[in-house]
Structure 1
C-alpha cells in the first residue's frame, strides 16, 4: 500500500510540473504470459483507483491553468508522449515519439500565389511579375489577403485614392456630349490660358499662378473661379491635345500644297545633337506666309546622309510627298550647302527645281570675320580683356563708376563680344569709344598701382592708332548691320535680297575704287583702279580724329594704318562675291514681285517668273490676268496695298 501511495505522489507532482489538463496512464494487458494474470488484475485495479484519485485532484487546478496551457498547446507540440508497452518478453518500455510527417509538412513556408479574384474587391490591384501591385500608390505588396486589406484601409492609400477619384482625365475634358455650358466655358478658359503661355514663349510653370491671378482680378466671374490648371495639367494638354491637333492641321496642308523648309542643327545641354525643322507656306486662313515649327529630330551623327534620312523619314511617316518641297534654307556649312554630298545636293536629286538659299545673316557674319583678320592680332584680344576685367568684379565696376562721374560719362557697363555673332562687335566698339577717356585714366592708375595684366590694356588705350582701328570698325560694321537687320525682319524680304546685297557691295567699292569704274563685276584687286590713298574714305569719325591729333601720328604710321584698312575693304569685297551671286536669275526676277515694280510696268507678264519657278501649272492664266490688271493701276495699289 505504501508503494501505491508513493506512486500517487509522484504522478501528482509530475502533473503539476508539466501543467497538463489530463494525465492518464494506461496499461496494456500482457498477451504472452499467463503466469502474470493475477499481477495484471492487481495492476489494473490499481490503475483505476489512481485514475479516479488523479481526476479528482487535478480538477481543482484545471480552471486556473487552462488559459496558459491552451496557448502553449496551440503553438507547440506536446513535449512527451508516454506510453507503457510490454514487449514480447513482458518487459515494459517507454518511448519518445517525434512529430508526424503531416505535422512536419505543415511547418514548411508557403508562398501565396496571386489570385485574380482579389481584383473584384480591390479595383486598385493589378498583377506585376506574379505579385500584387497598387496602381494608385505605385507600391508592390505581399500576396496575402490580410495584407491587401490593411493596405486598402491605410491612411496614405485612402488619401491618394480620394485625390485620384477627383481628377478628370484629359480626354474626358473635351467630351462635350454630356457636359453643360459652364463646363465648356471652363475648358475654353483653361485652353486660352495655356495658349497665352505658348504664343509668348512663357514658361509653363506660370500656369501655377495664372489661374489664381485671374480669379483674384475677376472675383465676380463664375468662370474665373472654376479655372484649375497648373503646370502638370497644362503640359498634358499641350502634349496630348494642342500639339497633336496643331500638327495635324499643318500636315494636312503640307500634303496638298507646296512648301519650303528651314533646317538647322543644335546641341542641347546634354550634348545631344538635334535637327530643328521649320516649315514655311502660304496660310489660306490668314492670307499670309507663315512659319510653323514642325519637328525636333534627334541625330546620332551630323553627317549629311543622316540629316537627309531623318528628314525623309519624318515626311514619309506623315505621308507628305518630298516633291512638295520647293525651297530649302540652311546655314552655309558644307554639310548643308555642299554641291556634291550636302543635304542640298540630295534634295536636288528628288526635285531639280528646288530653290536653295543659305542664311544671309550668317554669310554677312562670316564676311566681316574674315576681313577682320587683316588687322593686328592683339586688337580682338584687348577688346575681350577689357570686358573680362570688369565682368565678374563688382568692386572694379564700383571703382570705375567714380571715373565715369568724374569725366561726366554715362554709367554704362562694358559689353562683351559674342563668339557666334561677330557683327555684335559694333556695339562693343561703340561702348569702348564712348568710355574711352574714363578707361584711359582708370587703367593708367591700375597699371601704376598693381603692375599686373592691366599694363597691356593701358598701353593699348594710350596709343592713338588703336583708336583709329576702332573708329573705322564702328563705321563699316554699322553699314553691314543695316543690311543684316533688314533680313531679320518678320516680313518677307527675299525679293529685296539681290538689290540690297548689290547696294552694299557697291557702297564698299565707292570707298576705294574710282567712281567711273564701279560695277558689280569690277576687278577690285587691280590697284590701278584705286583712288589715291589720301582720298580713300574710311569714315568721317576717323578723319576727324586724325585732323584733331595730327601731331600724334607719324607719316609712315598713318600710311601703314590706311593700308591695313584698305586690305580690310578688299577682303570684305572678296568674301561677299564668294557668297552672293549677283547674276542669279531667280533672285533678279524676285524683285518684280514688289507691288511698286508691277505698277511701273517693269515686267509685262508673269511668264519669266513662272519659267524659273515651275512648281505649279494651275491657274497660270488667271494669275497673269491679275498681274496685268495691276500694271499702271497706282490708284488700286495705293488703296489696297498693305506695305
Structure 2
C-alpha cells in the first residue's frame, strides 16, 4: 500500500479559555482565533490552542500592555453621577436663597460647608457641599440676573411707574430704582427693585434725573413706557425747573408726577398732633431710656408684667428720624400701660423727693362735672427738649403762695414751659419749675392720667395705617 498524506488537526476556540484567561475572548475572525482584550488583537490558536495563548501572554507586547492598563484609569471615573451633582447644586442654591431671605451676611457661607459635614456625616450631598462666600456671591448674582431679566421684559413691553430716593450714607450715594407694573402672568400689580445705581457727583436734580434715564437706557427700556414718577416732596426731586421731575419731563412730556403719600400723610398727622396738649414722643423716649441701661429696672418691670398678667415684652425705642417706629412704640406702651404705671409708682417710693413738695402731696386730678375742658397731666412743652406734667395738689392757700413765691411766677402769668397745677381749694394756677419733680415722678404722673391714655389710644387708632402696624 502506498503512503497517504498526513492529516492535520486544527485547534478551535473553547469557552474554558475565557474562564482561565479573563482577557481572552472569542474572535470575530473564526474558530481558529482568539481575541486579547488587553492588546486589542486577534491571536491564532489553530496549532497549539492553549499553548498559543500562553506564548502570547509571555510576550513583551502583552506584558507592556498589562502594565499600561494597570496605571491608567477607566474613563468612567472622569464622569460623576449627574443626579448626585444636581442634588448638591440644589442644596447650594437653597441655602443661598435662605441667606438672602433672612438677610444673613454672605460671609456666613464660609462656615456652612464644614458645619453640614459635621451635622450630616453620612450624607453624600453634605460631604460634597462646597459653597463659600465667593461661590454664594456668584449664585446671588445669577439669581438676581434671572429675576431682573423678567422685570425688564415687562418694562420693555408695557407701562410702568418709577420711584426713587437717595440713601443717607455718606460714603456712597445710592438711588434704588423701584418700578411698579402689571404682570399679566399672575394678573396682579408688582413692585420690584430694578437696580441700585451709585451716583457720581453732587446730588442735584440734573444728576439724579440723568442717572435714572441712563439706567433705563442701559436695559433698553423705552422712556415712553414710564407713565408716572413718585418721590418725596423735596425740592431736588419735585422742582419744576432744576428738579428730577424737570429732567424726566423733558424726555417724557406726559409723565404723571406724584409726591410720596406716606410722607404727606405723616406730615398731615404731625401737624394735627401739634394741637394736642401732650407730646407722646417725649414720653416714649423718656420711658425707653429710663429702662435701657439698667438691668435691675428691667427685672423689676418684668415682675409687674407678671403681676398684671401681661406678656413680658421690652419697651421699644422710638427714633424721631424713623417716624414709622412711632406706631410700634406707641402700641407697646399701651399694651404695657398698667405694668409701667405700677413700676413707676414703685420707683417713686424708692427715689428721694427732689424738692420739699413731694409726690405724696399730689393726687390724680378728676375732671369736675361742670368743667367740660380736658386738662391732661402732660402737656406739650414750648421747647422740644422739655416736658411738663399737670398735677393737682392738696394744699392750703398759704402753701400755694409759698410755692408761687419760690418759682418766681404769679397766678396770672401761666406762661411757664411746664403746665400748671390747679389747687383743689383755689382755682388759681401754680407753675412748677422743671426741677421740682424727678423723672420717675413725672413719668408716674403721666401714666396715672386716664386722659393721657385716652389720647394715646386716640392717636393709635387714627394713625394705625400710618404706623404700619400690620
1:272 is matched with 172
SS of structure 2 residue aligned to 1:461: helix
Once residues 461 and 415 of structure 1 are traced to their aligned partners in structure 2, the CA distance between those partners, rounded to angstroms, is 18
Q: Does 1:447 align with 2:348?
A: no
Q: Deviations over 1:106-151 (max 9, x none)?
A: xxxxxxxxxxxxxxxxxxxxxxxxxxxxxxxxxxxxxxxxxxxxxx
2:337 is matched with 433
Contact 2:308/2:338 (8 A) holds in 1? no
1:417 is matched with 318
1:38 is matched with none
Give the alignment partner of residue 192 of structure 2, picking from 292, 309, 315.
Answer: 292
Alignment TM-score, normalising by the size of structure 2: 0.55
Q: Structure 1 residues 255, 434: closer, same or farther in 2, change over 3 A?
A: same
Contact 2:341/2:447 (8 A) holds in 1? no
Give the alignment partner of residue 481 of structure 1, picking from 460, 464, 468.
Answer: 464
- 1:368 to partner: Cα distance: 2.1
Q: Deviations over 1:248-282 (max 9, x none)?
A: 443344333322223122123x5433211122233
SS of structure 2 residue aligned to 1:418: coil
Once residues 413 and 187 of structure 1 are traced to their aligned partners in structure 2, the CA distance between those partners, rounded to angstroms, is 42
1:231 is matched with 133
Give the alignment partner of residue 472 of structure 1, picking from 444, 451, 455.
Answer: 455
1:251 is matched with 152
Q: Structure 1 residues 370, 216: closer, same or farther in 2, change over 3 A?
A: same
- 1:391 to partner: Cα distance: 0.9
Contact 1:308/1:343 (8 A) holds in 2? yes
Contact 2:249/2:255 (8 A) holds in 1? yes
Alignment of 1:120-519 (within 5 A): 181=82, 182-211=84-113, 222-239=124-141, 241-268=142-169, 271-299=171-199, 300-376=201-277, 380-404=281-305, 411-419=312-320, 420-421=322-323, 422-431=326-335, 433-448=337-352, 455-462=438-445, 467-482=450-465, 485=468
1:535 is matched with none
SS of structure 1 residue aligned to 2:161: strand
Once residues 432 and 286 of structure 1 are traced to their aligned partners in structure 2, the CA distance between those partners, rounded to angstroms, is 43
Once residues 340 and 443 of structure 1 are traced to their aligned partners in structure 2, the CA distance between those partners, rounded to angstroms, is 58
Once residues 407 and 248 of structure 1 are traced to their aligned partners in structure 2, the CA distance between those partners, rounded to angstroms, is 55
Contact 1:282/1:290 (8 A) holds in 2? yes
Once residues 454 and 253 of structure 1 are traced to their aligned partners in structure 2, the CA distance between those partners, rounded to angstroms, is 63
Once residues 462 and 194 of structure 2 are traced to their aligned partners in structure 1, the CA distance between those partners, rounded to angstroms, is 35
SS of structure 1 residue aligned to 2:104: coil
- Contiguous gaps of at least 5 residues in structure 1: 1-177, 489-643
Contact 1:461/1:467 (8 A) holds in 2? no
Pairwise CA RMSD: 3.6
- Which structure would you say has the larger Rg? 1
Q: Deviations over 1:75-117 (max 9, x none)?
A: xxxxxxxxxxxxxxxxxxxxxxxxxxxxxxxxxxxxxxxxxxx
Once residues 212 and 126 of structure 2 are traced to their aligned partners in structure 1, the CA distance between those partners, rounded to angstroms, is 44
Once residues 233 and 346 of structure 2 are traced to their aligned partners in structure 1, the CA distance between those partners, rounded to angstroms, is 43
Q: Larger RCO: Structure 1 or Structure 2 (Cα < 8 Å, ≥ 6 residues apart)?
A: 2
Contact 1:460/1:466 (8 A) holds in 2? no
Which has a greater percent of helix? 1
Once residues 292 and 379 of structure 1 are traced to their aligned partners in structure 2, the CA distance between those partners, rounded to angstroms, is 36
Alignment of 1:31-180 (within 5 A): none
Q: Deviations over 1:477-523 (max 9, x none)?
A: 2232147649x7xxxxxxxxxxxxxxxxxxxxxxxxxxxxxxxxxxx
Contact 2:353/2:438 (8 A) holds in 1? no
Contact 2:288/2:317 (8 A) holds in 1? yes
- 1:311 to partner: Cα distance: 0.8
Once residues 186 and 279 of structure 2 are traced to their aligned partners in structure 1, the CA distance between those partners, rounded to angstroms, is 53
Q: Structure 1 residues 283, 224: closer, same or farther in 2, change over 3 A?
A: farther
Once residues 185 and 461 of structure 1 are traced to their aligned partners in structure 2, the CA distance between those partners, rounded to angstroms, is 61
Q: Structure 1 residues 416, 453: closer, same or farther in 2, change over 3 A?
A: farther
Q: Deviations over 1:453-485 (max 9, x none)?
A: 971441453368954133123123223214764
- Contiguous gaps of at least 5 residues in structure 2: 1-78, 356-434
Alignment TM-score, normalising by the size of structure 1: 0.42
- 1:432 to partner: Cα distance: 5.5
2:20 is matched with none
Contact 1:277/1:293 (8 A) holds in 2? yes
Once residues 381 and 218 of structure 1 are traced to their aligned partners in structure 2, the CA distance between those partners, rounded to angstroms, is 53
Q: For this pair of structures, how many residues does the alignment match?
A: 308
Q: Structure 1 residues 417, 190: closer, same or farther in 2, change over 3 A?
A: closer
Contact 2:216/2:223 (8 A) holds in 1? yes
